Structure 1
Amino acid sequence: MPNIEIERKFLITGDFKSEAYQSERVTQGYMACNTEGRAVRIRIKGDKGFITIKGAGNDSGLSRFEWEKEISVEDADQLMKLCDPGVIDKVRYLIQAGIHTYEVDEFHGDNEGLIMAEIELKSEDEKFEKPSWLGQEVTGDVRYYNSQLVKNPYKNWKA
């Protein structure tokens, strides 16, 4: 049975860092990205490596296939060399809100200034707590997909 990820994305409008219980640096690159929203991602998060395959999202942008496997950091380093040009560099903060955990990404490098939160849900209509720092929802807006931020970084949007 396929792994379906259901998540919503939001921009951040206030101070969230004081609520974080954990943070770590994340770097990731992409290979085999295409316009249908399919991507192969290589990620280094802390002292672990990962390879992830993501499918195209559904019409609402809330659900998509995701498969992930942990790999060694050495393997991830080698695979990063095969990725398309550009890299995502961010710090990920974990924040508990009710029964859910928000992953808040503060981007660096070419995406400096962008701060975005994601929450994973069990169903598309699941209710969840919305902290005061949660701003505009950008779920389904492909510009905010990390795979697209590599191709068209946030720094280019300011024109």
Structure 2
Amino acid sequence: MIEIERKFLVTSNAFKDQAFKSTRIVQGFLNRDPERTVRVRLKGNKGILTVKGQSSNNGLSRLEWEKDIEKQEAESLLKLCEKGIIKKIRHEIEVGNHIFEVDEFFGDNQGLVIAEIELQHENETFEKPIWLGKEVTGHIKYYNSQLSKQPYISWK
């Protein structure tokens, strides 16, 4: 239940040619408190309810609990979410022994592309593809819960 992940900006669209799967995601937040974020997600035709705990000091790890729910339940819960629904396409790319999840955002976050990689432990090494840019692990403004409040278009 402890998730360890690192986040990076993406420097080009080269990842798209390497993706083995791309899925549309719509998500909202029932609660954006950093100590217990509660997210509702429609990932393709599947609903997911997620609770995340507060991040560690270095931003690498935090508790994450997920439960699959019916699509109709997710659609109903999305109507109860706080303002700021996130829309994105998640591209999955295999690089070495790992899978990168590259989120291409739309709407108020259009133009932002973030890659995430989940690791088994914080010091795990991994191959870095050429399209991987600056690391933003632990930078709160890149958390989806924050992007729903302070979208990318408001940064400029």
TM range (shorter): over 0.9
Give the one of 22, 46, 49 matched to 2:47: 49
SS of the residue corresponding to residue 143 of structure 1 reads helix
1:18 is aligned to 17
2:153 is aligned to 155
* Structure 2, unaligned runs of 5 or more: none
1:30 is aligned to 29
Give the one of 112, 120, 124 matched to 1:122: 120
Alignment map for 1:104-115 (pairs within 5 Å): 104-115=102-113
Identity of counterpart residues, as a percentage?
A: 56
Q: 1:11 Cα deviation (Å)? A: 0.2
Matched to 1:16, the amino acid is F
Cα RMSD after superposing both structures: 0.7
Q: 1:38 Cα deviation (Å)? A: 2.6
Matched to 1:129, the amino acid is E
Matched to 1:32, the amino acid is N
- Structure 1 stretches of at least 4 aligned residues deviating more than 3 Å after TM superposition: none
Q: 1:31 Cα deviation (Å)? A: 1.2
Matched to 1:88, the amino acid is I
Q: 1:37 Cα deviation (Å)? A: 4.6
* Structure 1, unaligned runs of 5 or more: none
Separation of aligned partners in 1, 2:37 and 2:104: 22
Residue 80 to residue 103, structure 1, CA distance change in 2 (3 Å): same
